[in-house]
């Protein structure tokens, strides 16, 4: 039943629009730094060729060719100056992405309020509860919807990564890399990309998935506590602000930036630890699941 419900939701109009808008926003971010990236990349390659000719070909560019064919032996990984993986990470370190992330959270909260206010307070769930019982009904909703909103945060990233991988080289080289752009500085770049990059992307997708689940549980918790739909929007924004302030006081990266491991790194307060962020948000989400489970049962029972 959970699988069928999840499949139906992923084919819904809301899911398709949400995924499409996030994907378009990622492409817009890429376009915003594309010119700087390719300018710096071509400059880097030009400097590399100059160095090669000066040190290995006696400064004579004519020696690059033999019988009309190039004979330069360039390190193969210089192509990773334009790495799809590097561009993927750079996208989520952009100053534009946090605004997109905040807007997407409001979209998610709006969708949850539309579903659950009718479900809880207008008795829209009575027929379903009559068929399968309160306990199973609530567990199905909590699991299927949390997975659904987690996937909504992951699927656009996967599609974006696939698009980059089709048109750009796949791999990464710390020897040949643009280490300083307006988006980040050299130290940030070397620190984060010094990790196993495929593992890093896996962690990024994982933390995005857990972040989507966290926002679902937070939104549902507010719906369960605040019965006024209009007031719930202000409560949601207030809750985000309070969480940000609490995390800042504890000298932990504010949870609002947990939409991407690259964004976490950019705004990290303490030393960067790749395992810290999914662990923190995973534990918080698990606690919120149990709280929502109890409150959801009580709210449904009280309103039947």
- Residue 163: closest CA among 262, 85, 260, 263: 85
Q: What are phi and psi of 66, to 5 degrees?
A: -135, 115
CB 214 within 8 A of CB 281: yes
- At 122-144, the pLDDT tens digits run 766 666 776 777 888 888 889 99
H or E segment and range at residue 69: strand 69-70
Stretch (H or E) spanning 65? strand 65-66
Are 200 and 157 spatial neighbours (Cβ–Cβ below 8 Å)? no
CA distance 241 to 256: 9
Q: Tell me which residues of the chain have a pLDDT lower than 50.
A: none
Strand partners, 70: 65
Q: Using an 8 Å Cβ cutoff, are 168 and 20 in contact? A: no
Task: Judge whether 232 and 114 are in contact, CB under 8 Å.
Answer: no
pLDDT for residue 290: 93
Structure tokens at 69: 């064919």
User: Is 59 within 8 Å of 230 (Cβ atoms)?
Assistant: no
Query: What residue segments make up the domains of the chain, in order of their start?
Result: 2-33+76-303
Q: What is the pLDDT of residue 151?
A: 95
This prediction has a pTM of 0.84
Own/partner long-range contacts of 114-122 (Cβ < 8 Å, ≥24 apart): 115/145, 116/220, 116/223, 116/224, 117/223, 117/229, 120/223, 120/224, 120/296, 120/299, 120/300, 120/303, 121/227, 121/303
Q: What is the pLDDT of residues 246-296, one digit of tens each?
A: 877 777 777 777 888 888 777 665 555 677 888 888 999 999 999 998 988
């Amino acid at each position: 039943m959970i699988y069928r419900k999840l499949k139906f939701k992923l084919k819904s109009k809301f899911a398709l629009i949400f995924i499409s808008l996030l994907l378009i926003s990622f492409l817009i971010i890429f376009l915003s730094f594309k010119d700087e990236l390719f300018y710096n990349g071509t400059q880097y390659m030009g400097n590399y060729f100059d160095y090669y000719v000066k040190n290995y070909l006696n400064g004579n560019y004519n020696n690059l060719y033999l019988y009309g064919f190039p004979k330069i032996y360039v390190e193969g990984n210089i192509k990773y100056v334009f790495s799809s993986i590097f561009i993927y990470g750079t996208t989520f370190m952009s100053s534009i992405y946090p605004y997109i992330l905040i807007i997407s959270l409001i979209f998610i909260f709006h969708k949850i309020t539309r579903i659950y206010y009718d479900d809880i307070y207008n008795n829209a769930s009575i027929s379903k509860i009559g068929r399968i019982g309160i306990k199973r009904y609530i567990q199905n909703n909590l699991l299927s919807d949390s997975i659904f909103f987690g996937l909504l945060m992951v699927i656009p990233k996967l599609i974006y990564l696939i698009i980059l991988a089709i048109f750009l080289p796949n791999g990464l080289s710390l020897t040949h890399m643009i280490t300083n752009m307006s988006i980040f500085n050299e130290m940030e770049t070397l620190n984060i990309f010094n990790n196993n990059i495929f593992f890093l992307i896996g962690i990024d997708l994982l933390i995005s998935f857990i972040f989507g689940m966290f926002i679902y549980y937070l939104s549902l918790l507010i719906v369960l506590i605040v019965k006024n739909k209009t007031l719930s929007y202000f409560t949601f924004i207030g809750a985000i602000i309070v969480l940000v302030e609490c995390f800042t006081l504890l000298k932990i990266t504010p949870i609002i930036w947990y939409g991407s491991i690259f964004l976490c790194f950019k705004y990290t307060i303490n030393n960067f630890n790749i395992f810290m962020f999914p662990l923190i948000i995973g534990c918080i989400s698990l606690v919120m699941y149990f709280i929502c489970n109890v409150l959801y049962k009580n709210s449904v029972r009280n309103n039947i």
